[in-house]
């Protein structure tokens, strides 16, 4: 009986005979509680059964001869089938089918144009960059290194490939995505490293541009929506040599009126693409031209075509016309058809830009894609004249049902959306309604608290150019003790008036601090991007830089810093800084600090304790003036201070207090409030090894606008003398029905 028939039989037994699967949740949880989780890797095939007895040398030799003979015959008979363009295999068992490649074992490097690859019930498809796919078992680093060489990976890709943390384990396979995007079972994944693109030469450097084109690994020719793919190395060399031979040079000619819907793509070794459009054949008096765009260029640049290359392109176009018609996107001005194409989007990835930082890429499944694609479809109106810049936008990539990806960038400011459909070599700006930008904001809000959120919130931050830490360094702080020490080091008394470290709840949060050392023209650091990986978090920072003029450039020496409170993680953390010096160029990330996974537990909550004595009272408005001699909060730590302060309050109860300043301190708080609203309430006094915190709620009342009698309310607290800094906090309510956020009001450093 075949498995299909057995399956029907099993289903009949379940449906009619009641042999149904039991609910095993409780049993499993019991086993889990009893420590029953099995650490063995069961995604790897079981090891072969060990031999039960010794094999004699003779038998061994006989077996070796037989195996060798079988292997030779087997190799001759079943040599691996030729792989389609875009696929390179290493140590792989596979079969090639009409519309896909079935990978049984080993690794495959997929580049743009690769067919679908299936493995263990999952499929990888629509790769737009470079990715390696393999089975679930990742070997040791040495074997990975050998495989990397067999796959001819670039020098930038090899470290990613050999780092297990860079591998994504999803469905029945593993994937290492170097550049671009890839889809697994209909869900799109995006490479995280924008800096793995090629370093393109400047448009004017014709020789270097030519040299780069000659390294192409494949060429695609699009003629009226029919696509010819050339992957034969000899032919590619012939084409690119003729194209970049004598007569290939940079030109100022404007080719924007030429037909942009035929194009030639040169796929470069690391997955980047050089795209040529607007080919003109030339005349007897004038050479032919084309517009070329390399990775990293903002637009196209014109080049002349050597006469020897023109017949080559004519033949390529003729060959392309014999190819079957590919999926063709509508032209940009057919807005209704563009909208129809948007309707076929199934999944999406989104990344938002807000408050000077990019969020991570967020994966959205079909249910979450529908409202997003509908919002874009309903919002777009007509092609706009304004040229797109790349900055300050929310980016969306919509994966289409029939393959291909629509790239959309929604501007944070202004009602414009930039679209690029499959097959378009230039993106087009469209005017759109205000609602689209609002939707993108909503997406950002939605994403930050959902399980799909990849970036994380910066809860508080301090940045500036006047740190007293004057060497370049990074700190990741997870304990109150270390935080107080760092803050004291960072804020000399003359800078912040001796204020104590702000309170951070290290049970939930941690502090990431970056100090730039002595440099010029910076206003401090901001958080650029946070990438929340499974094994490590990456925190990317950049500086607010500015330019000066004057003798020697007029540079100002500064000591920039950025201190960020972010959600606590016990995973590894990497801090990266953008080292790109050129304005408008994509960032170049350099690791500047970090820490390995944390194994210590979060700190325990503060120990609460009570004030030893409390005296409260008030004086009337007629005694105005007395308060001017008292600060709102006064910390008294010795008898002399007490003798100076006590008479100002004028309360018999205070005269009876006898604080022991060897063991105690006194805090005097005075506020003005409408008459009769009550007293200070001491909410919490707590301390740990690093600090003592007093949280109090001052009396408040809403005023009616009419003149009201006010009074001055005072509270005097005698507290056990802290050996640490003291922080007095007041509540701030975002919403009255929510818990307050405690904001430091006054702080005193420890002696």
Partner 1 sequence: MQSPFSAIFAAKMFRHFLTTSGACVLMDAVMTREDALIRLMKDHQADVWRFLRLIGCESALADDLTQETFLYIYRNPIDEISHAATAAYLRKAARNLLLNRRRKEGREHPLDVEAAEAAWIALTPTGHGDDRLEALQRCLEKLAERSRSAVDMKYAQGRSEAEVAELLQTSLDAAKSLLKRTRAQLRECVERQVNL
The binding track of 313-352 with respect to partner 1, each residue x by CB under 8 A or -, is: ----------------------------------------
Least spacing, CB of residue 496 vs partner 1, in Å: 28
Window 122-181: residues binding partner 1 (CB under 8 A): 122, 136, 168-172
With CB under 8 A as the contact rule, the residue among 412, 427, 431, 614 that binds partner 1 is: 412
| Binding footprint of partner 1, residue count (CB under 8 A) | 78
The minimum distance between CB 23 and partner 1, in angstroms, equals 7
DSSP 102-123: EEEEEEEEEETTPPEEEETTEE
Task: Determine the interface stretch with partner 1 among 67-75, 415-423, 430-438, 472-480 (rule: CB under 8 A).
Answer: 430-438
- Residues with Cβ within 8 Å of 591's Cβ and at least 6 positions away in sequence, in order, are 574, 575, 576
Min separation Cβ 708 and partner 1, Å: 31
Q: What's the CA gap between 213 and 11, in Å, rounded?
A: 59
Q: Give the separation between CA 219 and CA 233, rounded to whole angstroms.
A: 10
Fill in the per-residue mask, 438 to 467: x = in contact with partner 1 (CB under 8 A), - = not in contact.
xx-xxxxxxx-xxxx---------------
Cα distance between residue 236 and residue 727, in whole Å: 71
- Closer residue to partner 1, CB minimum distance, 47 or 51: 47
Q: Which is nearer to partner 1, 185 or 612 (CB)?
A: 185
Cβ atoms of residues 292 and 205 within 8 Å? no
Residue from 101, 151, 184, 305 binding partner 1 (CB under 8 A): 184
Q: How far is the CB of 411 from partner 1 (least distance, A)?
A: 11
Instruction: Give the tokens for residue 65.
Output: 């001869």
- φ, ψ (nearest 5 deg) of residue 339: -65, -40
Name the nearest CA neighbour of 270 among 231, 321, 215, 325: 215
Q: Which of 164, 186, 674, 686 binds partner 1 (CB under 8 A)?
A: 186
What are the structure tokens assigned to 673, written together?
């409030």
Exposure b/e, 694-730, CB count within 10 A at least 16 = b: bbbebbeeeeeeeeeebbbbbbbbbbebbebbbbbbb
Residue number with CB closer to partner 1 (105 or 489): 105
Cα 299 to chain center, whole Å? 26
Stretch near partner 1 under the rule CB under 8 A, chosen from 67-75, 185-193, 312-320, 691-699: 185-193
Nearer residue to partner 1 within complex by CB, 170 or 697 = 170
C-alpha 161, offset from chain centre: 19
Which of 674, 724, 734 shows the shortest CA–CA distance to 699?
A: 674
Half-sphere exposure of 715 (CA within 13 A, CB side): 20
Quote the least distance from Cβ 36 to partner 1, whole Å: 6
Maximal C-alpha separation, the chain: 115
Q: Which residue has the tokens 């060429």?
A: 219
Given a contact cutoff of 8 angstroms between Cβ atoms, the answer to whether 157 and 111 are in contact is no
Instruction: Report if residue 647 touches partner 1, rule: CB under 8 A.
Output: no
CB of 25 to partner 1, least distance (A): 5
User: Cβ of 538: how many Cβ atoms within 10 Å?
Assistant: 19
How many Å apart are CA 336 and CA 427, to the nearest integer?
A: 17
Nearer to partner 1, 289 or 353 (CB): 353
**Cβ closest to partner 1, residue 67 vs residue 120:** 120
Rounded Cα distance between 596 and 589, Å, is 19
The 534-573 contact track toward partner 1, x by CB under 8 A, reads: x---------------------------------------
- Round to whole Å and give the CA distance between 240 and 305: 11
Comparison of 122 and 580: residue with beta carbon closer to partner 1 = 122
Q: Pick the binder of partner 1 from 99, 234, 246, 413 (CB under 8 A).
A: 413
When binding is defined by CB under 8 A, the residue of 68, 120, 591, 597 that contacts partner 1 is 120
Which one, 21 or 550, has the nearer CB to partner 1? 21
User: Binders of partner 1 among 256-315, rule CB under 8 A?
Assistant: none
Q: Strand 691-697 vs strand 725-732: parallel, antiparallel, or unpaired?
A: parallel
Q: Return the number of the residue (121 or 551) whose C-beta is nearest partner 1.
A: 121
Nearer to partner 1, 252 or 449 (CB): 449
Residue of the chain from 98, 121, 601, 656 that contacts partner 1 (CB under 8 A): 121
353-382 residues in contact with partner 1 (CB under 8 A) are: 363, 365, 367-368, 370-371
Pseudo-torsion of CA 265, 269, 270, 271, nearest 10°? 30
What residues between 663 and 682 interact with partner 1 by CB under 8 A? none
Binding marks (x or -) toward partner 1, 189..228, rule CB under 8 A?
Answer: ----------------------------------------
Of 29 and 141, CB closest to partner 1: 29
Q: Which residues contact 97 (CB under 8 A, 6 or more apart)?
A: none
Shortest distance (Å) from residue 378 CB to partner 1: 13
Q: CB of 451: closest distance to partner 1 in angstroms?
A: 6
Q: Kindly tell me which of 16 and 57 has the beta carbon lying closer to partner 1.
A: 16
Distance CA 109, CA 129 (A): 10
Phi and psi for 218 in degrees, rounded to 5? -160, 160
Residues within window 19-78 making contact with partner 1, judged by CB under 8 A: 19-25, 27-29, 31-32, 36-47, 49
- Min CB(130)–partner 1 separation in Å: 20
| Nearest approach, Cβ of residue 533 and partner 1 (Å) | 11
* Cβ contact 123:109 at 8 Å: no
Min dist. Cβ of residue 443 to partner 1 (A): 8
Nearest to partner 1 of 255, 440 (CB atom): 440
Q: Give dist(CA 239, CA 219) in Å, integer.
A: 9
Minimum Å gap between C-beta 118 and partner 1 is: 10
The distance of closest approach from Cβ of residue 509 to partner 1 in the complex, given in angstroms and rounded to an integer, is 16
Whole-angstrom distance, CA of residue 236 vs CA of residue 242: 10
- Which of left, alpha, beta for 263 (phi over 0: left; psi -120 to 50: alpha)? beta
Q: Please say which residue, 188 or 477, places its beta carbon nearer to partner 1.
A: 188
3-22 positions binding partner 1, by CB under 8 A: 3-17, 19-22
Task: Report the residue number, 445 or 546, with the smaller CB distance to partner 1.
Answer: 445
According to the binding rule CB under 8 A, does residue 2 interact with partner 1?
yes
DSSP 186-240: TEEEE-S-GGGS--PPPTT-HHHHHHHHTT-SEEEEEETTEEEEE--HHHHHHHH
Q: Which of residues 480-539 bind partner 1 (CB under 8 A)?
A: 534
The stretch near partner 1 (CB under 8 A) out of 62-70, 401-409, 431-439, 479-487 is 431-439
The CA distance from 743 to 732, in Å, is 7
Q: How far is the CB of 249 from partner 1 (least distance, A)?
A: 46
Which residue, 19 or 643, has its beta carbon nearer to partner 1? 19
b/e code 640-677 from CB counts within 10 Å (16+ = b)? ebbeebbebbebeebeebebeeeebbbbbbbbebeeee
Strand, coil or helix: what is 507? Answer: coil
- Nearest to partner 1 of 16, 599 (CB atom): 16
Q: Strand, coil or helix: what is 545?
A: strand
Task: Answer yes or no: are the C-beta atoms of 255 and 290 closer than 8 Å.
Answer: yes
Of 116, 185, 195, 612, the one binding partner 1 by CB under 8 A: 185
Nearer to partner 1 (CB atom), residue 38 or residue 494:
38
């Amino acid at each position: 009986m075949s498995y299909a028939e057995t399956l029907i039989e099993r289903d009949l037994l379940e449906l009619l005979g009641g042999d149904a699967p039991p609910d095993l949740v409780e049993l499993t949880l019991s086993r889990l509680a009893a420590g029953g989780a099995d650490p063995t890797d069961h995604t790897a095939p079981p090891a072969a059964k060990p031999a039960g007895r010794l094999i004699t040398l003779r038998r061994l030799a006989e077996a070796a001869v037989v195996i060798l003979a079988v292997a030779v015959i087997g190799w001759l008979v079943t040599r691996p089938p030729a792989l389609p363009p875009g696929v390179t295999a290493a140590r792989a068992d596979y079969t090639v089918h009409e519309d896909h490649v079935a990978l049984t074992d080993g690794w495959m490097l997929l580049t743009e144009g690769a067919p679908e690859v299936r493995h263990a019930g999952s499929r990888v498809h629509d790769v737009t960059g470079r990715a390696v796919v393999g089975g679930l078992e990742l070997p040791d680093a040495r074997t990975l290194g050998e495989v990397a060489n067999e796959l001819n990976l670039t020098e930038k890709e090899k470290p990613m490939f050999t780092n297990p943390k860079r591998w994504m384990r999803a469905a029945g396979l593993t994937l290492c995505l170097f550049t671009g995007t890839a889809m697994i079972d209909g869900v799109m994944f995006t490479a995280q490293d924008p800096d793995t693109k090629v370093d393109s030469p400047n448009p004017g450097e014709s020789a270097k541009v030519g040299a780069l084109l000659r390294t192409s690994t494949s060429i695609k020719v699009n003629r009226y929506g029919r696509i010819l793919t050339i992957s034969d190395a000899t032919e590619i060399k012939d084409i690119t040599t003729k194209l970049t031979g004598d007569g290939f040079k940079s030109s100022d000619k404007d080719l924007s009126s030429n037909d942009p819907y035929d194009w030639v793509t040169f796929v470069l070794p690391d997955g980047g693409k050089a795209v040529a459009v607007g080919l003109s054949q030339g005349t007897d008096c004038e050479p032919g031209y084309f517009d070329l765009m390399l990775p990293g260029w903002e637009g196209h640049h014109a080049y002349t075509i050597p006469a020897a290359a023109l017949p080559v392109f004519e033949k390529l176009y003729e060959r392309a016309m014999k190819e079957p018609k590919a999926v063709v996107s509508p032209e940009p001005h057919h807005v209704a058809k563009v909208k129809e194409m948007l309707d076929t989007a199934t999944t999406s990835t989104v990344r938002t830009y807000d408050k000077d930082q990019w969020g991570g890429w967020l994966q959205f499944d079909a249910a979450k894609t529908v409202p997003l694609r509908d919002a874009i479809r309903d919002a777009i109106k007509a092609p706009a004249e304004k040229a797109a810049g790349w900055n300050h936008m929310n980016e969306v990539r919509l994966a289409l049902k029939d393959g291909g990806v629509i790239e959309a960038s929604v501007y944070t400011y202004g009602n414009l959306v930039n679209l690029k459909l499959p097959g378009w070599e230039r993106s087009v700006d469209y005017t759109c309604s205000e609602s689209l930008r609002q939707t993108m904001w909503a997406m950002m809000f939605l994403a930050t608290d959902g399980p799909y959120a990849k970036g994380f919130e910066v809860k508080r931050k301090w940045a500036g150019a006047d740190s007293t830490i004057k060497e370049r360094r990074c700190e990741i702080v997870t304990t109150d003790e270390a935080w107080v020490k760092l803050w004291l080091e960072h804020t000399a008394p003359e800078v912040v008036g001796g204020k104590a470290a702000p309170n951070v709840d290290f049970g939930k949060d941690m502090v990431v601090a970056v100090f730039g050392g002595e440099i010029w023209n910076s206003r401090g650091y901001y958080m650029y991007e946070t990438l929340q990986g499974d094994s490590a978090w990456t925190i990317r920072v950049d500086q607010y830089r500015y330019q000066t003029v004057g003798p020697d450039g007029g540079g100002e020496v500064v000591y920039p810093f950025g201190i960020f409170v972010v959600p606590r993680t016990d995973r590894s953390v990497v801090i990266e800084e953008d080292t790109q010096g050129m304005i408008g160029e994509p960032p170049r990330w350099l690791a500047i600090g970090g820490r390995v996974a944390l194994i210590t537990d979060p700190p325990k909550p503060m120990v609460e304790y009570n004030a030893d004595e409390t005296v409260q009272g008030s004086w009337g408005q007629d005694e105005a003036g007395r308060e001017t001699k008292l600060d709102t909060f006064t910390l008294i730590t010795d008898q002399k201070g007490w003798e100076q302060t006590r008479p100002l309050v004028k309360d018999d109860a205070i005269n009876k207090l006898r604080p022991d300043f060897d063991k105690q301190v006194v805090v005097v708080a005075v506020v003005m409030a409408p008459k009769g609203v009550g007293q200070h309430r001491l909410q919490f006094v707590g301390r740990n090894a690093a600090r003592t915190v007093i949280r109090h709620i001052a009396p408040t009342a809403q005023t009616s606008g009419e003149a009201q009698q006010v009074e001055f309310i005072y509270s005097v607290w005698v507290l056990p003398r802290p050996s640490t800094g003291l922080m007095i906090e007041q509540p701030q309510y975002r919403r009255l029905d929510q818990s307050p956020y405690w904001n430091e009001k006054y702080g005193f450093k420890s002696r």
